[in-house]
Amino acid sequence: MSSIREIAALAGLSPASVSLYLNDKSTTRVGPAAKERIDAAVKKLHYHKNIFASTLSTQESKLIGIIIPSLMPLFGNEYTNTLLTGVQSQLSERGYGMLFFPSNAHTSVEIVEEQIHRSSGCDGYVLFSTGFCTQTQVEKNILELQKTDKPFVTLNIPEMDSAIRQVLIRDLEVCSGTRYLLERGHKRIGLVLGRTGGVHAKKLYADHRDILEESGIPFDPQTVVYGEYSAEQSYTMVKKLLKQHPELTALNCMSDIMAASALLVAQDLGLSVPEELSIIGRNNSLHARLASPSITTVDLHIEEAGKSAAHLLLEAIAGSTGGQKIIISGTFIERETVRTLQ
Amino acid sequence: MSSIREIAALAGLSPASVSLYLNDKSTTRVGPAAKERIDAAVKKLHYHKNIFASTLSTQESKLIGIIIPSLMPLFGNEYTNTLLTGVQSQLSERGYGMLFFPSNAHTSVEIVEEQIHRSSGCDGYVLFSTGFCTQTQVEKNILELQKTDKPFVTLNIPEMDSAIRQVLIRDLEVCSGTRYLLERGHKRIGLVLGRTGGVHAKKLYADHRDILEESGIPFDPQTVVYGEYSAEQSYTMVKKLLKQHPELTALNCMSDIMAASALLVAQDLGLSVPEELSIIGRNNSLHARLASPSITTVDLHIEEAGKSAAHLLLEAIAGSTGGQKIIISGTFIERETVRTLQ
DNA sequence: ATAAATTGATAAAACGTTTAACTTATCGGA
DNA sequence: TCCGATAAGTTAAACGTTTTATCAATTTAT
* CATH fold of A63-170+305-321: Rossmann fold (3.40.50)
Q: Is B241 helix (H, G, I), strand (E, B) or coil?
A: helix
**CA B277 vs CA B234, B243, B246, B335: distances in Å:** 16, 13, 10, 14
Residue of A nearest to B55 (CA): A52
CATH of B174-299, one of 3.40.50.300, 3.40.50.920, 3.40.50.2300, 3.40.720.10: 3.40.50.2300
Percent of chain B with pLDDT over 70: 98
Q: What is the pLDDT of residues B66-125, one digit of tens each?
A: 999 888 888 988 899 999 999 999 999 999 999 999 888 888 899 999 999 999 989 999
Segments of chain B assigned to CATH 3.40.50.2300: 63-170+303-329, 174-299
Tell me the average pLDDT of chain A: 94
Q: What is the pLDDT of residues A4-18, one digit of tens each?
A: 999 999 999 999 999
Instruction: For residue A46, give the nearest of B49, B147, B286 by CB distance.
Output: B147
CB contact under 8 A, A48 and B92: no
Q: What is the DSSP string of A23-35?
A: H-TT-SSS-HHHH
- Which positions on strand D lie below 7 Å from a protein C-beta? 6-12, 14-21
Q: What is the pLDDT of residues B244-294, one digit of tens each?
A: 999 999 999 999 999 999 999 999 999 999 999 999 999 999 999 999 999
Total CB pairs under 8 A between chain A and B: 162
Are the C-beta atoms of residues A7 and A17 closer than 8 Å to each other? no
Distance CA B257, CA B294 (A): 12
Residue of A nearest to B49 (CA): A120
pTM of the model: 0.94
User: A321: left (phi > 0), else alpha (psi -120 to 50), else beta?
Assistant: beta
Q: Is B193 helix (H, G, I), strand (E, B) or coil?
A: strand
Greatest distance between any 2 Cα atoms in chain A: 86
B24: nt with nearest C1' to CA: D18
- Which chain B residues have a beta carbon less than 8 Å from that of A292? 263-264, 267, 291-292
Instruction: For residue A92, give the nearest of B49, B82, B102 by CB distance.
Output: B102
CATH of B63-170+303-329, one of 3.40.50.80, 3.30.1600.10, 3.40.50.720, 3.40.50.2300: 3.40.50.2300
**What is the dotted CATH code of the domain comprising A172-299?**
3.40.50.2300
Distance CA A157, CA A137 (A): 11
pLDDT for the residue numbered B133: 84
Show Cβ contacts of residue A126 under 8 Å, excluding neighbours closer than 6 positions. Answer: A64, A65, A66, A67, A87, A152, A153, A154, A155, A309, A310, A313
The separation between the first and the last C-alpha atoms of chain A, rounded to the nearest angstrom, is 74
Nearest to A94 by CA among B121, B101, B73, B75: B101
Residues pairing with A193 in the sheet: A226
**B16 CA vs C9 C1’ separation (Å):** 9
Segments of chain A assigned to CATH 3.40.50.2300: 63-170+305-321, 172-299
- Which chain A residues have a beta carbon less than 8 Å from that of B310? none
Q: What is the DSSP string of B86-131?
A: HHHHHHHHTT-EEEE-----SSHHHHHHHHHHHTTTSSEEEE---T
- What are φ and ψ of residue B44, in 5° steps? -65, -40
The CA distance from B201 to the nearest CA of chain A, in Å, is: 22
Instruction: For residue B120, give the nearest of A51, A148, A260 by CB distance.
Output: A51
B58: nt with nearest C1' to CA: D18
Show Cβ contacts of residue B148 under 8 Å, excluding neighbours closer than 6 positions. Answer: A1, A46, A48, B116, B120, B125
Residues 121-140 of A with CB under 8 A from B: 121
pLDDT for the residue numbered A55: 97
User: What integer is the mean pLDDT of B308-328?
Assistant: 91
pLDDT surpasses 80 at A171: no
Q: What is the pLDDT of residues B28-41, one digit of tens each?
A: 999 999 999 999 99
**CA A25 vs CA A3, A51, A113: distances in Å:** 18, 18, 41
Are the C-beta atoms of residues B65 and A77 closer than 8 Å to each other? no
- Give the strand pairing for A124-127 and A152-155: parallel
**B53 CA vs C15 C1’ separation (Å):** 9
**A22 CA vs D11 C1’ separation (Å):** 19
